Amino acid sequence: MGLRVDNLVEKNEIQLSFFTDEDDKKQEKVDKVVDQLKQKYGYGSITRAGNLHSSEIVKLKEL
């Protein structure tokens, strides 16, 4: 099984919409905190509750 994201754009090239979605902002904050922890303590140091056991089933290729 594979997952891929395409049609990538630079974050700062995105035009800000008039209505900034509060939920988007919140998600961005959550992700940012998780990313910082991953960078500081290693990729596997934090993960979502939903996939805690996935690493027992399949092995993810390294970054």
Partner 1 sequence: MEKKQRQILHIDVNNAFLSWTAIDRLEQGEKVDIREIEAVIGGDETKRSGIVLAKSMKAKAKGVHTAETLYQARIKCPNLQVFKGDYKSYRKHSNDLYKLLLQYTDKIERFSIDECFLDMTDFLGNSKLIDKAYEISRRVKNELGFTVNVGVAHNKLLAKMASDFTKPDKVHTLFEEEIPRKMWPLPVSELFMLGKKTIPKLQKMRIKTIGDLAKQDKNEMIKRFGKHGLMMWDYSNGIDNSEVNYIEEKPKGIGNSVTLPMDICDKEKLEEILLMLAEQVAYRLRRYDMYANVVNVQLRTKEFKDFSHQKKMLKANSNTKDIYATAKQLLEEMYKKRNFYTLSGIKSRQFG
Positions that interact with partner 1 (CB under 8 A): 1-12, 14, 17, 24, 27-28, 30-32, 34-35, 38-43, 45, 47-48, 50-51, 53-55, 57-63
CA–CA separation, 11 and 20 (whole Å): 15
Looking at beta carbons only, is 22 or 57 nearer to partner 1?
57
Instruction: Report, in Å, the least distance between residue 48 CB and partner 1.
Output: 6
Question: Distance from first CA to last CA of the chain, Å, rounded?
Answer: 17
Instruction: Report, in Å, the least distance between residue 22 CB and partner 1.
Output: 13
How far is the CA of 28 from the CAs of 7, 12, 54, in angstroms?
Answer: 20, 14, 24
